Amino acid sequence: MSTPGFAGPVDAGLRAEVADRLAAAGANGTLPIVQSGDPVLRTPAATYTGQLGDLLIPLVAAMRRTMHAAPGVGLAAPQIGVGLALAVAEDAGAAQDPRERAPLAFRVLVNPRYEPLGEEDGGPARHASFFEGCLSIEGWHALVPRHHRVLLTGQDETGAAVEEALTGWPARIIQHETDHLRGELYLDRAVPRSFSSNANLVRLWGGALDPVPVSEALGFEVP
């Protein structure tokens, strides 16, 4: 039987694989996060049509626990070794953050897509450049230009259609996680000369909320 809201049949083999992963979860119910170099991170994820049946919700719950424990603000299924177009995202936000880090309520992204949008004031679509990290590239950050405002489309965990405009840091999170489902990592879009260890990003640049001083010191242009 397929999951309500999804028309496709259950994939018994994939379901068994996911069930084994959930059964092997740690004492806190978290799953191991795959690191860069594993082919699953470079393989476009399969469209979700109901392959997991009623295991979808337990998998989503485990992904949320894993994301929180890491800690992170998003996690895609390939990052736990499952090649399905599923991701979770959530961020409490931060006041007076130059990255426009508005709160992002917990959500499940199923078969997500995004496209750039013009600004709310009628201005053209534009990019913003800030440092990003990834739970699958431990210990590093780099400057990544992203669409400042995007239209997110796809489905939620019930199969209901999703269409939402997102701006600033929430838009960046959605782009980052959706890219994972395409077999892409943030380093594919990053300014190579900007790569910095997490420790140096904090020690030298206070977290690099403003990328300009970093660019001046390391010799790169902010896109």
Instruction: Compute the distance between CA of residue 191 and CA of residue 143 in angstroms, rounded to an integer.
Output: 6
Residue 180 annotated as lining a ligand binding site: yes
Q: Which one of the listed residues 90, 132, 157, 177 is annotated catalytic? A: 177
Phi, psi of 130 (to 5 degrees): -145, 165
Q: Torsion over CA of 98, 103, 108 and 112, rounded to 10 degrees?
A: -40
Closest by alpha carbon to 114, among 182, 215, 197, 14? Answer: 182
Residue 134 annotated as lining a ligand binding site: yes
Instruction: Compute the distance between CA of residue 77 and CA of residue 83 in angstroms, rounded to an integer.
Output: 6
Contact in structure between 112 and 154 (CB atoms under 8 Å): yes
CA distances for 181 relative to 14, 83, 113, 125, angstroms: 17, 8, 10, 24
Catalytic, 177? Answer yes
96-105: burial string, b at 16+ Cβ within 10 Å, e else: eeeebbbebe
Reduced to 3 states, what is the DSSP secondary structure of residue 124? coil
Binding-site positions for Fe cation = 134, 176, 180
Residues annotated as catalytic are: 177
Binding-site positions = 134, 176, 180
